[in-house]
Structure 1
Amino acid sequence: MADTQSAAISTRLNWLRAGVLGANDGIISTAGLVVGVAGATTSRTAILTAGVAGLLAGSLSMAAGEYVSVSSQRDSERAALEVERQELATEPEAELDELTDLLAARGLSRDLAREAAEQLTERDALRAHARVELGIEPDELANPWHAALASLVAFTVGAVLPLLAVVLPGASWRVPVTVVAVLGALTLCGVVSARLGGAPVPRAVWRNVVGGAVAMGVTYAVGHGLGSA
């Protein structure tokens, strides 16, 4: 029960962390795009069109990439489980010895490891080997559709902020308002991601803010240069 609860908590934290990172990507990539276009033109229509196109392209690309990645992971996990199932059917004693060795390597005495391996094997041999040997929870394999949808939503939520910040104000205020809004949002993302990962908050925030500022600075300079030319 404890192992199952721990795995569930770990899974939820991974999903939450992935959501924060997806939103972070949406903020930075969309902000860089719309600020670059705003550097080239004051046309609200052009900026909005570019921002919406970037939002759609980025969110769909993230979703597709996540679907492919998680599908590959799921296929690998299923293949590993099938190999383990066949080995348990053909070499049960060798698998019992292997499970005993793995448990002993985790700090159990040899006798206690053997007893635990026998009890786990009697209860559910495949689940025991999946957890101890492969680090897989058979009933909780990642769903590629869930991963794709989560990435799409997270990226879209992040991208909406810079898009609104750049199109709502007047022409003279668009870039400053967007920069302030984006840096504020990146600060929040840095704090949340650091808390989830147990990392130092200042360092995570600094990386986030500097990366976003550099991205907007570069794209604005390029857009302004091309617009002037």
Structure 2
Amino acid sequence: MNHEQVHVHNSYQLAFDGLANPFIVQSSVFFQIPGLKMSNQPNADLIPTAEENQALLDTWGIIAKDLKGYGSKFFIHFFKQYPHYQLQFKAFAKVPLEELPENRRFKAHALTLMSALNGFIENLDDVEMLDELLLKMGENHAKRKLTREDFVRVQDSLQEFIALELGTLYTAPVKTGWKKILAVMTDRIGEGIDNFNSYSD
């Protein structure tokens, strides 16, 4: 696959061509993410190395250049794995998979998900804001009766999708970097779900 290279400075500043909001992620802050008051004790195995950190940011630069396109492709990938989830979206529940890329409501939802993920990554340098965003996502989806297990499926499917899309660029540091950050994000979203359910009891 031919992808434009994303230039990464020593300070981990990403200059995404075509994006309106370049952002800076300092490695010292990124390493604090597993301490985001995880529901379990912070796991040292979830702390990315500097190489994994840079690999994750490099590959997100590729995806971030086409959030709408990658979002649509991911949801089709996810629905192929778990067809019953498509039925939860009334606007396109019965639309054949091959027609989904042309469905306006489907494309809007796919872009919403990828924009949220982009927002999470843009806030890696603001741990408190990132924590609030993840908890809020969990609470919002708890209202739709989604569970931790649902988001674990999304996490695993997204990891697989990234591997398929990156091809030879999906190196060992890329794999472990994404695995760690997605695990932490999923945990905090799950905490938001648990919080909402406890309020509702």
**Normalising by structure 1, what TM-score?**
0.26
**Normalising by structure 2, what TM-score?**
0.28
Highest CA radius of gyration, 1 or 2?
Answer: 1
- Greater helix proportion: 1
Could you say which structure has the greater relative contact order, defined with CA pairs below 8 angstroms and 6 or more residues apart?
A: 1
